[in-house]
């Protein structure tokens, strides 16, 4: 059996923390599908196409596929022929939401296993929302995101 892992998220935008998780997921999965959610509760800063394209540029590996999905994650994972969902855990505060999601997904699709990777210490506090805030307020986000994302963030918040 060749394990396929789905790494789902909003990726608005992709951070160095996300990149690290993809790389680590490849140590136990033969293929990682980065699944970019179409429907977000909040209005994203980056369009779906931008989010997908920025991930493709940052994670160029033949074992990584970047796809968007609309609807239930459990349906997407099943249709993709995957059995694993990979999620990152940073602080304890992530835990409650994540365990809820993992259990709901397992109820809907019992063959799916969610695997949690602890964020590595360098990426412990990186969150897309904070990165956007920093960029919006004119701060330097270069250590938190890829060069391309950094440039796109700067362009989004360019003061006229």
Interacting residues with ligand PNS (CB under 6 A): 8-10, 37, 72-73, 101, 104-105
**Nearer of residues 105 and 146 to ligand PNS, judged by Cβ:** 105
In terms of C-beta distances under 8 Å and separation of at least 24 residues, what long-range contacts does 128-131 make, across chains too? 128/10, 128/11, 128/12, 128/13, 128/14, 128/15, 131/13, 131/15
Residue 43 or 138 with smaller CB distance to ligand PNS: 43
Cβ count within 10 A of residue 66: 22
CB of 104 to ligand PNS, least distance (A): 4
Residue number of the CB atom closest to ligand PNS: 9
The minimum distance between CB 144 and ligand PNS, in angstroms, equals: 15
Q: Shortest gap between Cβ of 44 and ligand PNS (angstroms)?
A: 10
* Residues 116, 81: Cα–Cα separation, whole Å: 20
């Amino acid at each position: 059996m060749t394990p396929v892992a789905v790494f789902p998220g909003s990726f608005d935008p992709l951070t160095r923390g996300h990149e690290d998780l993809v790389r680590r997921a490849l140590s136990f999965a033969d293929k990682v599908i980065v699944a970019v959610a179409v429907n977000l509760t909040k209005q994203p800063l980056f369009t779906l196409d931008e989010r997908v394209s920025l991930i493709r540029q940052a994670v160029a590996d033949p074992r990584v596929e970047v796809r968007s999905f609309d609807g239930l994650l459990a349906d997407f994972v099943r249709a993709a022929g995957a059995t694993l969902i990979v999620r990152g855990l940073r602080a304890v505060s992530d835990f409650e939401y994540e365990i809820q999601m993992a259990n709901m997904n397992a109820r809907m699709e019992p063959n799916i296993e969610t695997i949690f990777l602890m964020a590595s210490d360098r990426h412990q506090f990186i969150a897309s929302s904070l990165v956007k805030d920093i960029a919006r307020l004119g701060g330097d986000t270069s250590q938190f995101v890829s060069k391309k994302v950094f440039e796109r963030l700067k362009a989004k918040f360019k003061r006229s």
